[in-house]
Amino acid sequence: MRHEQSGMTILVKTITRLTAGLIFIYGVFIAKQGHSAAGGGFDGGVIIALSLILIVLAFGKKTGVRCLGAGRALVLAAAGAAALWLSLYTRHEIAAEFSAAVMVATGLFAIYLTLMTVAGERAKQ
């Protein structure tokens, strides 16, 4: 009996396990440094989203949906937008950068998962 495995080869999965966390931490670092140096919430959010997309590419769509589905990602993006407005009102620069990073990362990841789902449905037709 053959087991179907989604995703890429064991080599790609192993490298992803080693690097995805480091990429995520680097994105958080970029978001943290945004108030005092170049970069910030948008740049850090894009890097964080790329670490999540790397996991989906390596392990398959089911793993990405199980970790953070498109619906949950959109809720987090809305929460990040609300937190961004609140942090701008209270003038907390670091909170504003992290809120922007959450909003951008989850928004881009939700867009990626949605496009991937639509493309998969069109390929079946």
Is position 109 within any domain?
Answer: yes
Q: pLDDT by residue (tens digit) across 19-65?
A: 999 999 999 999 888 767 767 888 999 999 999 999 999 988 888 77
Contact criterion met (CB below 8 Å) for 48 and 28: yes
Q: What is the pLDDT of residue 2?
A: 44
Is position 105 within any domain?
Answer: yes
Is position 5 within any domain?
Answer: no
State the total domains in the chain. Answer: 1
Is position 1 within any domain?
Answer: no
Q: pLDDT by residue (tens digit) across 66-109?
A: 777 767 877 888 888 888 888 878 877 778 888 888 888 888 98
Is position 106 within any domain?
Answer: yes
